[in-house]
Amino acid sequence: MPSSTPARSTTRPPTRCQRDDGRTVGFESDFFRRQAFLTVSGQLQAEAYACALSGAYTFGPTFRAENSHTSRHLAEFWMVEPEIAFANLQDIMNYAESYVQYLCKWLLEHCMEDMEFMAKTHDKSAIERLELVSSTPFERVSYTKAVEMLTGSAGSKKFQTKVEWGIDLASEHERYLTEVIFKKPVIVHNYPRGIKAFYMRLNDDQKTVAAMDVLVPKVGELIGGSQREERFDILKQRILDAGLPMESYEFYLDLRRYGSVKHSGFGLGLERMLLFATGLDNIRDVIPFPRYPGKADL
């Protein structure tokens, strides 16, 4: 009898890559014998462990090739990424809120001398900000509602980036939500599918995905996470729609090919947490050897 299980591709990873000028670069004698990249996230691999062990996390350096010269972006930073089986979007929002509050409480209990120094020399509201976040329930608002609120504030606040449904919220929008409208941390959820990654679970409306961002005063986005797409056919189509090479994600599809469970996870950038806690103005000051576009001397 023919199997109802989707057939697995036997396509091998590419051994040659075409350059912009049309010439090809061979990887046969390269260290990995194939095309390789710096780590963007450990999420996809952590999902494999989480589905087997019910929970897992990764912590390590990650890299971005974004040409962003802002006070909160680095080309190399450290990120902690928990991944939890049988967790949905609501669960992961609860976990993310609890985690941030735990970190704030830990700093207040174990690093008060350091926090007093930072409050005295850099940001006098640093301790007060940690106390607020550690003891205040986070506001939760859908992306659509957040856009409506920001649009409604256009009369009193002029944003550099126009607010409209479908854009990725900029830092100025995130900080306005946390510092002016709600005056506390905010979790924005259910983002448009077009601005989020292929692995985020598609909602029933087919327009949004089960994604969330934790926004905090002074910094903006501190955590990004989602419920993962566990449905094989939908995930495969999302990969195709994104124009990604299917052969690179066969192992990821295999996690769903023979059955899976709902699972979710998030990532917290360590340097952004330090930026938020210390009150420093630039993320390049909270890492010993900052690397950013045009700068990788050490």
Report yes or no: 142 and 189 within 8 Å, Cβ to Cβ: yes
**Quick one: pLDDT at residue 27?**
78
Residue 297 covered by a domain: no
Domain that holds residue 178: 38-285
| pLDDT tens digits along 162-199 | 999 999 999 999 999 999 999 999 999 999 999 999 99
Residue 5 covered by a domain: no
Out of 33-42, 108-117, 165-174, 283-292, which region has the weakest mean confidence (pLDDT)?
33-42
**Quick one: pLDDT at residue 37?**
87
Residue located via tokens 């990969």: 239
Residue 191 covered by a domain: yes
Residue 90 has pLDDT above 60, yes or no: yes
What proportion of the chain, given as a percentage, has pLDDT over 70? 92
**Quick one: pLDDT at residue 16?**
60
The angle formed by the CA atoms of residues 163, 169 and 173, to the nearest 5 degrees, is 70
The angle formed by the CA atoms of residues 81, 283 and 92, to the nearest 5 degrees, is 25
**Burial group, residue 121, by CB count within 10 angstroms (0-12, 13-18, 19+):** exposed
Per-position DSSP letters for 54-106, written without gaps between them: SEEEEEEEEE------STT--SEEEEEEEEEET--HHHHHHHHHHHHHHHHHH
Residue 255 covered by a domain: yes
Residue 12 covered by a domain: no
Say how far apart CA 145 and CA 132 lie, in whole Å.
24
Residue 160 covered by a domain: yes
Domain with residue 190: its CATH number is 3.30.930.10
Q: With bands split at pLDDT 50, 70 and 90, how would you rate the model's confidence at 5?
A: very low
Residue 57 covered by a domain: yes
Number of separate domains in the chain? 1
Q: With bands split at pLDDT 50, 70 and 90, how would you rate the model's confidence at 66?
A: confident
**Quick one: pLDDT at residue 3?**
43
Residue-averaged pLDDT of the chain: 92
Residue 14 covered by a domain: no
